[in-house]
Structure 1
Amino acid sequence: MTSAPFPFSRIGIVGLGLMGGSLARSLRTLPDPPSVVGLSKEPHDIERAMRMGIIAEGESKPESFFSGLDLVVYCTPLNTTLVLLEEHRDRLDPGTVITDVVSLKGPVMEKAKELGLQRRFVGSHPLCGGEGTGLDASREGLFTGSTVWVVAGEAEPATVEVIRGFWRALGAEGVSTQAEGHDALMAVVSHLPQLAANALALALEEKDVSRDDLGPGGKDMTRLAGSSPEMWMDLLAHSPSDLRDGLASLERWLAEIRGLVEEGRGEELQRLMARTQDWFKRTRWN
Structure 2
Amino acid sequence: MVDKKVTIIGLGLIGGSLARALKERVGITDITAINRSSRSIDAALKDRTISRGSSELNQHVYDSDIIFICTPVRRAIEYIELLKEKIKPDCILTDVGSTKSEIISYINKMDNPPLFIGGHPMAGSENTGYEAGFTHLFENAFYVLTPSKTTTDYSMNLMTGIVEKIGAIPVKIRADEHDKATGCISHVPHIIASTLVNMVRFMDSEDGKMKLLAAGGFKDITRIASSSPEMWENIVLSNKEQIGGILDFYVEILKKFKTSMENDDSQAILEFFKSAKDYRDTFSSHKRGLFTPEYDILVDIIDEPGILGEIATLLGHNKINIKNMNVLNNREFQQGCLKVTLPDPESLDVAHKVLIENGYKATCI
TM-score, structure 2 length as denominator?
0.71
Instruction: Summarize the Cα distance change of 1:212–1:81 in structure 2 as closer, same or farther, 3 Å threshold.
Output: farther
Structure 2 residue matching 1:98: 3-state secondary structure: strand
Return 5+ residue gaps in structure 2 as ranges.
Answer: 286-365
Aligned length: 278
| Whole-angstrom CA distance in 2 between matches of 1:184 and 1:21 | 27
Partner of 2:214 in structure 1? 213
**Does the 8 A contact of 1:18 with 1:138 survive in 2?**
yes
Identify the match of residue 53 of structure 2 among 25, 48, 58.
Answer: 58
Match of 1:122, SS state, is strand
Matched, 1:148 2:147: no
Report Cα offsets for 1:228-260 as digits up to 9, x if no partner: 111111111121533222212222222333444
**Cα RMSD (Å):** 2.1
Shift of 1:264: 4.5
Report how far residue 61 of structure 1 moved. Answer: 0.8
Q: Which residue of 2 aligns with 1:3?
A: none
The equivalent residue for 2:235 is 235
Aligned residue runs from structure 1 range 1-286, under 5 A: 6=1, 8-30=3-25, 32-113=27-108, 114=110, 116-118=112-114, 120-154=115-149, 155-205=151-201, 206-207=203-204, 208=208, 209-210=210-211, 213-215=214-216, 217-262=217-262, 264-281=264-281, 283-286=282-285
SS in 1 for 2:179: helix
**1:267 Cα deviation (Å)?**
4.0
Q: Percent identity?
A: 25
Check conservation: 1:89, 1:115, Cα contact below 8 A.
no
Q: Residues of 2 paired with 1:244 and 1:56: CA distance?
A: 43
- Residues 28 and 60 from structure 1, CA distance in 2 versus in 1: closer, same or farther, beyond 3 angstroms? same
Task: String of CA shifts for 1:154-174, please: whole Å, max 9, x gaps.
Answer: 211111110111111101111
Q: Alpha carbons of 1:31 and 1:175: their partners in 2 closer, same or farther (altered >3 Å)?
A: closer
Q: Quick one: structure 1 residues 271 and 111, their matched pair in 2 at CA, closer, same or farther if it must change by over 3 Å?
A: closer
Amino acid aligned to 1:198: S
Deviation at residue 19 of structure 1 after TM alignment: 0.6
Rounded to whole Å, the distance in 2 between the matches of 1:31 and 1:275 is 43
SS in 1 for 2:159: helix
- Note the C-alpha offset of 1:74: 0.5
Does structure 1 conserve the Cα–Cα contact (< 8 Å) formed by 2:13 and 2:131? yes
What letter is aligned with 2:253?
W
The 1:196–1:233 alpha-carbon spacing in structure 2 relative to 1, beyond 3 Å, is same
Amino acid at match of 2:136: G
Distance change in 2, residues 1:201/1:102 (3 Å): same
Instruction: Quote the offset at 1:32 in angstroms.
Output: 2.9
Q: Which has the higher contact order (CA 8 A, sep 6+)?
A: 1
Amino acid at match of 2:190: Q
AA aligned to 2:283 is R
Distance 1:212 1:15 in 2: 38
Q: CA distance change for structure 1 residues 96 and 31 in 2, over 3 Å: closer, same or farther?
A: closer
Specify every segment of 5 or more residues in structure 1 that has no aligned partner in the other structure, as ranges: 1-5
Task: Report the Cα distance in structure 1 between the residues aligned to 2:280 and 2:62, rounded to whole angstroms.
Answer: 50
What's the CA shift for 1:93? 2.2
TM-score under structure 1 length normalisation: 0.89
* Contact 2:3/2:28 (<8 A) preserved: no
Query: Structure 1 residues 229, 257: CA separation in 2 closer, same or farther (over 3 Å shift)?
Result: same
Q: Secondary structure at the match of 1:141?
A: helix
Report if the CA contact (8 A) 2:9-2:68 is conserved.
yes
